[in-house]
Amino acid sequence: MKYISASKVTAILATVILLSACVVRERVYRAPPRAYYPPPVVSASVDVEVRSTEAPPPLPDYQQPPCPEEGYLWTPGYWHWSGTEYFWIPGTWVQPPRFGVLWTPGYWAFSGGSYGWHGGYWGPHVGFYGGVNYGFGYVGVGFLGGRWAGNSFAYNTSVNNVNTTIIHNTYNQTVINNTTVNKVSYNGGSSGVIATPTSQERAAAQETRLAPTALQTQHVREAVRTPGLSARTNNGHPAITATARPSAFNTPAAASIPKAAPRPAAKRPAAKRNPRTKKPQHE
């Protein structure tokens, strides 16, 4: 019988241990629980661009000009404070800075005894705009005037003036307005719109924002130079309420845009004459 020396036994055991350490074992990965990080609380005065002690006038009634061509998005009109008085900035169709972004309108908000202007911006989703009902899909929360489908924008013809013989990427979806329809142009205070940001609007505020385009900025500058758009001159009823393109204030299309006509009162049925008495009789 052959005996194995102690030194060989030790070597064999060392080899076995070494080989067992080389065995590959499958590692089970467990994803950590998703942490919730609430959006940072931002002071209401952080994005205030300008302040005024005067309340902005009510929004005027006006009709939307037809969309000039595919790819243009509607930006509603608003009152701009020049430092001494309010000027109406006509609503207009503009080209967005890139595909996939939507316009969040600016809004006035009363706070601390004055009215602050929170400027509008472009972003992936529409954020908070004070709950102001600007119309044409901007009913106070969100935007119902259209949506992006890839690199094409589809227009909701129920709230937008779109010539479907020229622009074919359209749909028709009835918009039910659950907000109070009035002409108040600011948020807060005793007479302003009472609205606070929704969770979706707070999330949109944390997304990447794009500033107004150069044409939008020029549109504002040109409006302030137009005397007929001064609230002191027009008493809150500007002659030019909307344009088909930015700064197109002198075009026939801009000048011919009428205000929305008031609903006519019910007319009394015309009186019929009695052929015998020659006197009118009513039904």
266 within some domain: no
261 within some domain: no
Q: What is the pTM of this model?
A: 0.74
Residues 73/146, Cβ–Cβ less than 8 Å: yes
pLDDT for res 178 = 57
How would residue 273 be classed by pLDDT, with cut points 50, 70 and 90? very low
107 within some domain: yes
Domain residue limits at 66? 48-131+185-255
What percentage of the chain reaches a pLDDT higher than 90? 66
Question: How many Cα atoms occupy the beta-carbon half-sphere of 195 within 13 Å?
Answer: 28
If one counts the domains in the chain, the total is 1
Tens of pLDDT, residues 214-272: 999 999 999 999 989 999 999 999 989 999 999 999 876 665 455 443 333 333 334 44
120 within some domain: yes
267 within some domain: no
167 within some domain: no
245 within some domain: yes
242 within some domain: yes
Give dist(CA 114, CA 122) in Å, integer. 26
